[in-house]
């Protein structure tokens, strides 16, 4: 059955021809028995933030082994060692197997073999080969922390050269997303743009997420995944947002990606919910905020955030980062301060709002100060929960103003709707920060009895 795979060799002699045919038959059997490999890569599990930070060790967390790629490597290596090129029947046989598992062929990095087969591969298989190839290049760049042009210039040139021939390629949702996300990682905007120009063919397709933990998946994590988009074009934007690439973000938004994308940041000991806007503001370096935020807002991102990522979270993050002008810009675009009694519904579920606070001090404030001045209940305060390895912290909208104790700044945002009603944690934060000027202003505005300030200056007992 393998007669059709017989090769015409450049260096051929009668004595070794039969031996070489036997070796070839064995290699072909190896290819045939391989199961098609699932296309994997960081585009599958972008929600696993710690995996992205620890590039190069992903396989330790259970990503799918690329068994088929090894078999293709063996074929390519054998051809190089024997100095052989396939005849027409040989190309047809290889192409049949490549159509079945084109992704593994690309992952094999067997450029010589791909060059031989390229003209006979279907347009869809060509896209999948490029997707697998882009994954290997991204892996090398990620591990080396160097640019693709430095890490492997020949591979980059080959990928870009083939990807530019879009009239010979048909993308499906998975292969397009894989190439696009790796182009983001490689900082190759031309390659990303070339793929996005074909978005009408694949942009509404679905790309499922994978959970690579081999020790099992928590049900609550699966529930979080259900809220995340599987739309191919949105997955491309998520990749651009994750790495803070403003050029890639603009290209994806122009192509029609959702600017209100839900993003989940799962760490090994914590997790955080975001909209695309709050992710940029909370997880990307602050000196890169401006362009990224503007790109999302100009594309229609809700300045108030989202139910999944936390209503009013972008505004809070701007204040927390002391970016007062950005906070003003969000307010100008439609963001609003929550009123006293409102809360972050997304972050509130399952959270003990006294966590991280001195319970004895809070009880004293509730008892002594609450008897003189109506306080907002802790559970109904305007708070946000920030998780971390030690559990997390609850923060309030007034917290950023206590730190500088700047009354004029507080007045500026009070005029824009900032509630100055106090909860017990608000009072405790002000006292801890010794924000006596701002606290005195707030107590006066709330018409608190003078003895309140006296009690607080006397010190809060344990």
- 247, 269, 291 — which closes off a domain? 269
Do 245 and 370 belong together in one domain?
no
Do 265 and 349 belong together in one domain?
no
Which is more confident, 358 or 276? 276
Please report which helix (H) or strand (E) contains residue 394, including its range: strand 391-396
Q: Is residue 15 included in any domain, yes or no?
A: yes
Q: Is residue 298 included in any domain, yes or no?
A: no
Q: How far apart are the first and last CA of the chain?
A: 85
pTM of the model as a whole:
0.86
The average pLDDT across 413-442 equals 94
CA atoms within 13 Å, Cβ hemisphere of 221: 18
Per-residue pLDDT, 162: 64
Q: Is residue 17 included in any domain, yes or no?
A: yes
pLDDT at 12 over 60: no
Residues 6+ apart with CB under 8 A from 260: 275, 276, 277, 300, 301, 302, 306
pLDDT at 121 over 50: yes
Q: Is residue 242 included in any domain, yes or no?
A: yes
Domain that holds residue 244: 3-269
Q: Could you tell me the pLDDT band of residue 446, with boundaries at 50, 70 and 90?
A: very high
Percent of the chain with pLDDT over 70: 82
Tokens, residue 124? 């869809």
pLDDT at 60 over 70: no
pLDDT at 91 over 50: yes
State pLDDT tens for residues 277-315. 999 998 887 777 889 999 999 999 999 999 898 888 999
Residues 6+ apart with CB under 8 A from 27: 71, 74, 75, 78
Rounded to whole angstroms, the Cα distance separating 110 from 113 reads 5
**For the chain, how are helix, strand and coil distributed in percent, rounded to 5?**
60, 10, 35
Q: Could you tell me the pLDDT band of residue 220, with boundaries at 50, 70 and 90?
A: confident
Do 15 and 146 belong together in one domain?
yes
Q: Is residue 446 included in any domain, yes or no?
A: yes
- 236, 269, 302 — which closes off a domain? 269
Q: Could you tell me the pLDDT band of residue 67, with boundaries at 50, 70 and 90?
A: low
Tokens, residue 253? 């938004």
- 225, 245, 269 — which closes off a domain? 269
Do 265 and 350 belong together in one domain?
no
Helix axes 313-320, 324-332, angle to 10 degrees: 160
**Which of 259, 412, 448, 408 is closest to 426 using CA atoms?**
448
CA atoms within 13 Å, Cβ hemisphere of 404: 13
Do 250 and 142 belong together in one domain?
yes
Q: Which of 31-35, 353-357, 443-447 has the lowest mean pLDDT?
A: 353-357
Which is more confident, 79 or 95? 95
Do 242 and 96 belong together in one domain?
yes
State pLDDT tens for residues 123-133. 999 999 999 98
Do 259 and 139 belong together in one domain?
yes
Residues 6+ apart with CB under 8 A from 388: 269, 270
How many domains is the chain built from?
Answer: 2
């Amino acid at each position: 059955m393998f007669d059709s795979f017989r090769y015409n060799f450049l260096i051929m002699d009668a004595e070794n021809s039969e031996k070489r045919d036997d070796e070839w038959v064995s290699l072909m059997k190896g290819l045939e028995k391989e199961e098609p490999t699932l296309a994997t890569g960081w585009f599958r599990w972008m929600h696993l933030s710690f995996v992205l930070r620890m590039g190069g060790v992903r396989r330790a967390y259970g990503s799918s082994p690329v068994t088929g790629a090894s078999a293709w490597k063996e074929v390519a290596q054998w051809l190089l060692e024997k100095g052989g090129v396939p005849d027409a029947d040989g190309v047809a046989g290889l192409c049949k197997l490549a159509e079945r598992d084109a992704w593994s062929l690309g992952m094999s990095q067997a450029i010589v073999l791909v060059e031989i087969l390229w003209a006979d591969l279907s347009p869809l298989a060509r896209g999948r080969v490029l997707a697998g190839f882009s994954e290997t290049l991204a892996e090398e760049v990620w591990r080396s922390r160097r640019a693709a042009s430095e890490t492997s210039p020949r591979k980059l040139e080959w990928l870009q050269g083939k990807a530019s021939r879009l009239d010979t390629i048909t993308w499906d949702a998975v292969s397009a997303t894989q190439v696009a996300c790796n182009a983001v990682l490689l900082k190759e905007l031309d390659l990303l743009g070339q793929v996005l120009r074909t978005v009408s063919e694949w942009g509404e397709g679905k790309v499922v997420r994978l959970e690579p933990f081999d020790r099992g998946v928590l049900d609550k994590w699966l529930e979080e995944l259900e809220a995340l988009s599987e739309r191919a074009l949105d997955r491309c934007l998520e990749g651009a947002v994750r790495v803070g690439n403003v050029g890639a973000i603009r290209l994806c938004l122009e192509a029609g990606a959702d600017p209100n994308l839900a993003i989940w940041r799962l760490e090994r000991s914590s997790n955080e919910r975001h909209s695309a806007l709050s992710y940029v503001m909370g997880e990307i370096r602050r000196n890169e905020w401006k362009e990224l935020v503007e790109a999302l807002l100009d594309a229609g991102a809700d300045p108030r955030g989202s139910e999944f990522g936390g209503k009013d979270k972008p505004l809070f993050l701007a204040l927390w980062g002391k970016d007062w002008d950005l906070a003003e810009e969000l307010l100008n675009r439609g963001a609003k301060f929550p009123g006293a009694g409102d809360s972050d519904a997304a972050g509130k579920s399952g959270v003990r709002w006294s966590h991280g606070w001195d319970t004895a001090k809070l009880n004293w404030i509730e008892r002594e100060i609450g008897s003189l001045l109506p306080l907002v209940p802790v559970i109904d305060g305007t708070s946000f929960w920030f998780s971390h390895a030690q559990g997390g912290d609850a923060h309030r909208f007034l917290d950023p103003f206590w730190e500088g104790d700047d009354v004029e700044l507080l007045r500026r945002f009070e005029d824009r709707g900032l509630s100055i009603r106090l909860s017990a944690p608000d009072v405790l934060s002000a006292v801890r920060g010794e924000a006596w000027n701002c606290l005195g202003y707030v107590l006066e505005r709330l018409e608190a009895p003078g003895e309140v300030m006296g009690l607080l200056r006397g010190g809060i007992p344990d």
